[in-house]
Amino acid sequence: MSGLFLYCRPGFEPECAAEIQEKSSQAGLVGYIKAKADSGYVVFVTTTPEEAAQLHQLLSFSELIFARQWFVILAMRNDLPVDDRISGLLDAMQALPEPAGLLYLETPDTNAGKELSVLCRRLEQPLRKALVDSGRLTEPADAGLCIHICFLSTHAAYIGYASSQNSAVWPMGIPRLKFPGQAPSRSTLKLEEALLYFLSDRQREKMLQSGMTAVDLGASPGGWTWQLVRRNIRVIAVDNGAMAESVMATGLVEHRRVDGFKFRPEHKVDWLVCDVVEQPIRIAELMASWLVSDWCNHAIFNLKLPMKKRYPEVKRCLALIEQKLSEAGIDYILRARQLYHDREEVTVFITRQVYQRNR
């Protein structure tokens, strides 16, 4: 089998499949989908291994919304001998284009997948040694290619590789973030992941400086606001609901009990963040109006998705924003992603392009 393996949030296989089919068609390559509901992954089957490798090079992983991680499939083995899996895995990697620098043993993000995590941990060290001895894995690590092995059962796995420069930095695309006990709500992890995913270390240092200003629309109880004030950013928290005392005690938050759709800032701010439960097209219109009005430099916000036609709705919202910014003559960079801590939503990041020159 040849193609691409894409991890996604369980339940979003149709959106992940539709997106990779659309992107591959735009790249001039055809294939078909193999997917199972709530499996946590999608397989895009190509005619030849060369086409799979070409697609991995042509498409930018950062432009995919619903894929958490991906890799080029070298083989699918469903008959790995339980007493000697390593030999079968080594045999499947004969077509590896060059020695890899990293090895990931993974599973889909499902309950069944998590039951295989012990197997992955047990296999990792002996497999790593065998790969180094065979010249397929460098030591010390040289992060050019990454070997990915996704176990579906004790005897079945997809084996492949990805460029470390064109894939997620986290195994399976899942960041291991710890909920900070001081934060008012678990939603704080959404913004933390967004800042880690969308911004490089250098960008975070430049764009999240102490003394900057922000507006948080729909701020209550303060999960997103907390991520900003812990970086010493002053926040106008806009919400008719109450803010957590721990957030207000920082002295960096001004609470405005106003409808977020009606609030207008007295002065331009550095950041606009928004996690309001509302029709996604209304949020898209609101975010576009802030940027067109030059009320902020950067924005991170969530689009809550409908039960049906989720991918078309995301595209409609992003197209509206892009049209309004282009008509206003604004140079911008827009990226969208269904983050690990997102549920029925996607997170969007927009910045004026001048801030992205030194990545």
The domains located in the chain, with CATH, are: 3-173 (3.30.70.2810), 188-356 (3.40.50.150)
- As a three-state string, the secondary structure of 83-125 is CCHHHHHHHHCCCCCCCECEEEEECCCCHHHHCCHHHHHHHHH
CA dihedral 16, 18, 23, 29 (to 10 degrees): 110
N-to-C CA span, the chain: 37
H or E stretch covering 149: strand 145-151
Q: What is the pLDDT along the chain (359 residues), one digit of tens a residue?
A: 899 999 999 999 999 999 999 999 999 999 999 999 999 999 999 999 999 999 999 999 999 999 999 999 999 999 999 999 999 999 999 999 999 999 999 999 999 999 999 999 999 999 999 999 999 999 877 779 999 999 999 999 999 999 999 999 999 999 999 999 889 999 999 999 999 999 999 999 999 999 999 999 999 999 999 999 999 999 999 999 999 999 999 999 999 999 999 999 999 999 999 999 999 999 999 999 999 999 999 999 999 999 999 999 999 999 999 999 999 999 999 999 999 999 999 999 999 875 443 33
- DSSP state at residue 73: E
Backbone φ/ψ region at 198: left (φ over 0), alpha (ψ -120 to 50), beta: alpha
Residue 354 confidence (pLDDT): 56
One-letter amino acid for residue 121 of the chain: R
Contacts of 256 (CB under 8 A, 6+ apart): 236, 237, 238, 239, 263
H or E stretch covering 69: strand 69-77
For the question of residue 262 being annotated catalytic, the response is: no
Residue 179 confidence (pLDDT): 94
Q: Which of 23, 36, 268, 304 is catalytic?
A: 304
Measured between alpha carbons, how far is 220 from 255 in angstroms, rounded to an integer?
9
Place of tokens 């606009």: 272
Q: Are 259 and 286 in contact (CB under 8 A)?
A: no
- Residue 36 buriedness (CB in 10 A; 0-12 / 13-18 / 19+): exposed
